[in-house]
């Protein structure tokens, strides 16, 4: 007798007010989630899965999180090792600071996100922003991230990974962090929702891992 399919997993998308979320919502639905956008801190804290989206500017995104106490909810959630995916700007916001703005980041992870080499970019030797497909190579310990090609639209990157995390790497004017996993936190500077079959598989793995972690 065939088992009935699992119901879609409740997945909260953090409303930063600076991101176009249509493609993220559609991609999560295809991955088996039931996405909903919220600026309610309690929902962000308690949801089975949370996505902190990309697109937008660092300072504006950081201010939006503080406006509704979403920064505190995210810090608590990640400290409790609850499934969370941060993409593009969402990944930047996890760190202490970024060249993109003057605001303090969430400092959930140590480090500074720097702009791609401005000297090489101004000389035409390096395209900034990096816009398009690039290869990523995930360390064997990664469980959600995987090696393959992903779609990037970024002017800023993390050069050194924090100690103790599982890492994927890429190259654009030098090696940079193309993704990391720390417990049930997954973060990447690329856009899974725009990364074809590679991104779709990543989102399915994230949803599956979140479902397995759900106590209900």
Instruction: Show me where the domains of the chain are located.
Output: 9-213
> Does residue 47 surpass a pLDDT of 70?
yes
Catalytic residue annotation = 88, 191, 193
Q: 165-181, pLDDT tens digit by residue?
A: 999 999 999 999 999 99
Can you tell me the mean pLDDT for 135-148?
Answer: 98
Can you tell me the mean pLDDT for 60-64?
Answer: 92
Residue pair 138/145 in contact (Cβ under 8 Å)? The answer is: yes
Can you tell me the mean pLDDT for 77-89?
Answer: 97
> Does residue 119 surpass a pLDDT of 60?
no
**CATH assignment of 9-213?**
3.40.50.880
> Does residue 123 surpass a pLDDT of 70?
no
Can you tell me the mean pLDDT for 185-199?
Answer: 97
pLDDT of amino acid 147: 98
> Does residue 1 surpass a pLDDT of 60?
no
Q: How many CB atoms lie within 10 A of CB 104?
A: 13
> Does residue 5 surpass a pLDDT of 80?
no
Query: What burial letters (b/e) apply to 11-22, b meaning 16+ CB within 10 Å?
Result: bbbbbbebbebe
Q: Considering the chain, what percentage of its residues have pLDDT values greater than 90?
A: 85
Please state, in angstroms and rounded to a whole number, the distance separating the CA atoms of residues 164 and 159. Answer: 15
Task: Return the half-sphere exposure (C-beta side, CA atoms, 13 A cut-off) of residue 4.
Answer: 2
């Amino acid at each position: 007798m065939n088992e009935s399919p699992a119901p879609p997993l409740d997945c909260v998308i953090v409303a930063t007010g600076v991101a176009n979320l249509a493609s993220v919502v559609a991609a999560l639905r295809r991955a088996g989630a039931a996405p909903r956008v919220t600026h309610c801190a309690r929902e962000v804290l308690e949801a089975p899965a949370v996505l902190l989206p990309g697109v937008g500017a660092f300072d504006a995104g950081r201010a939006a999180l503080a406006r509704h106490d979403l920064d505190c909810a995210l810090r608590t959630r990640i400290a409790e090792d609850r499934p969370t995916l941060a993409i593009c700007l969402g990944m930047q916001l996890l760190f202490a600071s970024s060249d993109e703005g003057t605001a303090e980041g969430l400092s959930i992870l140590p480090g500074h996100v720097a702009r791609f080499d401005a000297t090489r970019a101004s000389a035409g030797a390096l395209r900034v922003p990096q816009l398009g497909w690039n290869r990523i190579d995930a360390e064997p310990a990664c469980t959600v991230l995987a090696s393959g090609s992903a779609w990037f639209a970024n002017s800023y990157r993390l050069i050194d990974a924090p100690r103790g995390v599982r890492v994927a790497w890429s190259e654009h004017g030098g090696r940079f962090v193309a993704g990391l996993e720390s417990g049930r936190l997954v973060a990447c500077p690329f856009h899974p929702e725009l990364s074809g079959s590679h991104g779709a598989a990543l989102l399915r793995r994230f949803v599956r891992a979140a479902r397995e972690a759900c106590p209900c």
